[in-house]
């Protein structure tokens, strides 16, 4: 499976992220897939944390969905696009992936 496919699979819920992570670890590690695996882990964690905050968290969850769509479009287009405002933190925090 190529890196672009793994990057797109990483966007399909938590299970897709786990599948992409496992495939990227067992094959020769693809930097494109790793980039989007890190982005999606950050968005998944942000989504979970925001779900615990009433009203404001729910509104900000819409922003997370927009970021998810932007990330998916970047992955499908073969471009390395970080998530606005927070994507560079995800790349730093999850370097091991």
Q: What mean pLDDT comes out for the span 70-91? A: 93
> What average pLDDT score do residues 71-88 get?
93
Q: Which domain holds residue 70?
A: 3-93
Place of tokens 């990057």: 7
Q: Is the pLDDT of residue 27 over 90?
A: no
- Measured distance CA(43)–CA(19) in Å, rounded: 17
Placement of tokens 């966007």 in the chain = 11
Residue 61's pLDDT is 92
Q: How far apart are CA 54 and CA 66, in angstroms?
A: 19
Count of domains observed in the chain: 1
The encoded tokens of residue 78 equal: 């073969």
Q: What is the pLDDT of residue 24?
A: 92
């Amino acid at each position: 499976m190529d890196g672009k496919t793994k990057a797109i699979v990483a966007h399909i819920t938590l299970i897709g992220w786990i599948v992409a992570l496992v495939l990227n670890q067992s094959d020769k590690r693809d930097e494109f897939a790793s980039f989007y695996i890190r982005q999606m882990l950050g968005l998944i964690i942000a989504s979970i944390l925001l779900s615990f905050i009433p009203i404001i968290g729910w509104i900000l969850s819409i922003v997370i969905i927009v970021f998810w769509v932007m990330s998916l479009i970047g992955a499908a287009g073969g471009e390395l696009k970080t998530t606005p405002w927070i994507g560079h933190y995800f790349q730093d925090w999850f370097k091991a992936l």
